[in-house]
Amino acid sequence: MEKLNIEKAIEIASGNKKAELVLKNGILLNVISGEFYRTDIAIQDGYIVGMGNDYEGEVEEDASDYYVLPGFIDSHVHIESSMLSPAQFAKAVLKCGTTTIVADPHEIANVCGCAGVDYILDAAKRVPLNIFVMLPSCVPATPFETCGGEFSIKEMKKYLDHEGVLGLAELMNFPGVIFKDPSVLEKIELFRDRRIDGHAPLLHDKDLSAYVVAGITSDHECTCANEAREKLRQGMSIMIREGSATKNLDALMPMINRYNSPYLLLATDDRHPDEIEKYGHIDYMVRKIIDEQGDISRAVRMASINSAKYFSLPKLGAIAPGYIADLLLVSDIRNLTINKVYKSGKLAVDNGKFMFEDQIEQIPDELLNTVVLKKDLQEKDFEVKIEKSETRIRVIGIIEDQILTEKLEFDMETDSGKLKQDISRDLLKISVVERYGKNSNIANCFVHGFGFKKGAIASTVAHDSHNLLIVGTHDSDMAVAGNFLKEIGGGLVIVIDGKVVNHIKLEIAGLMTQQNITEVNKKLEEFKSILEEMGSVLKNPFITLSFLALPVIPELKITDCGLFDVGKFAFTDLEV
């Protein structure tokens, strides 16, 4: 977008010339003054140039039936978790009133390195959505797993002057900060004068102070009000998160008040396409805050100007002369019925209809065919051998709607020297297969909480290294599922009795597709009935599965290198 022509803007603002577009007599929610009042809004070359009465435009739209709000900002999101390409993601969230996102492309960077970051930055130039990037801080995410790409400080330096780069993304290696790991401190030093986002689940007291004093200024991992309050007291801004696997808004609602709300931002982090289409995006959170607290202005500020101020985006987040004309026209303010969305002064969404032409994307070769297994998987690859006749094992325990897990223990008997799934006690086998052709690692252990009575599911969406992640009731189905995803280049698959019964192809890095949100959600809806038939007790087992290989979230996880105890930050034995 070109810079505002100041001379022309002054002429129009003074009433001496007509604007390109004037929204007439709308009820403005001014997030700067906190007021509602009627005004004309004059727009030229994508910017707001005048506010007041009796502006004239080449085109004049009657906005008298609408409240006018600034476009919403998602303060922390991984586009990849929507499973949609940037163009399709933009189309989906614009309908929800999100006009700006701050993206952390560490998912695709873990698969493809710089090629993945370049893909997101290049897309930002083409899509009708403001996409800013925080550079991935932890690629590889940890030294305890194998990933496909690398994004070290050497790569970071190449992007420092890029106009779309705001700072350093979530610093997940909080032990590396506290224990002064030289490589971590070097990254912090590189971004000393810019924003450094945090990722510090359950960190508190002196360890939290050590983390904050290093220069980390936000956190999106708070799961209870007390945790958020402590981090606020230490000077952090809190990104309240409502994703798909991580729903924290209800738990944090009691701590939101008029005093701390300027330091509260809204984020989705990882939100699946079915929830975006069914419930919304940032608008869902705004709606819920209004419903619970009744303060419309506070809720909208948390969704707009708070993030703009935090990230030093002076032309976004509000409606005033000189700001980019990202506007929402809302007919019912309490229920937040978004009727029209203007992006840079152009009508982008009109009563649910996307008004821009669909983007035709050229996907770089480096982002395709990223599932590389050195050999086909076989049943024996998933065997767990134990010499004893019986033993006690550590088991990953699932917590619904959270990416935290429990550390469980179960007594098990062996069968011919092997531990097998115990469907009666919901003890299924879970495996991570290295998918980049680097070492052929396969790690196997057990998980409790899926409820499957038959079949297997597999995914190449496996935060953060995105290896091949499989859970199943029988080793044979697990092998079929893994081999199928190799054939199609990545995605999600369900296998029952040795047959693929449904799948979604994610051709871009094994994470995203060029299909639109409706097509993807049709597949996900088909998944639901199949997964229920399999006995699933989870609302979305694929979302849950995708976080079970993330060794920075307590308590017990699995990577391609083995079973990992996050509390000890070390591998642990399967046997107790």
pLDDT score recorded for residue 359:
73
**Domain locations along the chain:** 72-290, 368-571
pLDDT score recorded for residue 446:
98
pLDDT score recorded for residue 401:
72
Architecture of domain 72-290: Alpha-Beta Barrel (3.20)
Inter-residue contact 225 to 250 (CB < 8 Å): no
HSE, side-chain direction, 13 A CA sphere, residue 432: 33
The rounded distance, in Å, linking the Cα atoms of 155 and 13 is 44
pLDDT score recorded for residue 358:
78
Torsions phi, psi of 461, nearest 5?
-95, 100
pLDDT score recorded for residue 235:
97
Tens-of-pLDDT digits for all 576 residues of the chain?
788 999 999 999 999 999 999 999 999 999 999 999 999 999 999 999 999 999 999 999 999 999 999 999 999 999 999 999 999 999 999 999 999 999 999 999 999 999 999 999 999 999 999 999 999 998 987 889 999 999 999 999 999 999 999 999 999 888 899 999 999 999 999 999 999 999 998 899 999 999 999 999 999 999 999 999 999 999 999 999 999 878 999 999 999 999 999 999 999 999 999 999 999 999 999 999 999 999 999 999 999 999 999 999 999 999 999 999 999 999 999 999 999 999 999 999 999 999 998 777 889 999 999 999 989 999 999 999 998 889 999 999 999 877 889 999 999 999 889 999 999 999 999 999 999 999 999 999 999 999 999 999 999 999 989 999 999 999 999 999 999 999 999 999 999 999 999 999 999 999 999 999 999 999 999 999 999 999 999 988 998 999 999 998 889 999 999 999 998 989 999 999
Task: Indicate the pairing of strand 562-565 with strand 327-332.
Answer: unpaired
Give one DSSP letter per residue of 418-440, joined into a string.
EE--BGGGTEEEEEEE--BSSS-
pLDDT score recorded for residue 343:
98
Could you tell me the end-to-end alpha-carbon distance of the chain, in angstroms, rounded to an integer? 59
3-state SS class at 499? strand
pLDDT score recorded for residue 360:
75
Going by the DSSP 8-state scheme, the letter that residue 22 receives in this structure is E
pLDDT score recorded for residue 2:
82
Distances (CA, A) of 256 to 30, 240, 249, 304, 558: 20, 10, 10, 16, 35
Cis check: omega of the bond before 555, within 30 degrees of 0? yes
pLDDT score recorded for residue 141:
79
Residue 475 C-alpha from the chain's centroid: 31
**CA-based R_g, the chain, Å:** 25
Indicate the burial class of 176 (C-beta count within 10 angstroms; 0-12, 13-18, 19 or more).
buried
User: Per DSSP, which regions of 11-71 are E strands?
Assistant: 19-30, 35-44, 47-52, 57-62, 67-70
pLDDT score recorded for residue 387:
87
Global pTM reads: 0.93
Which helix H or strand E contains 473, and what residues bound it? none
pLDDT score recorded for residue 361:
81
pLDDT score recorded for residue 143:
87
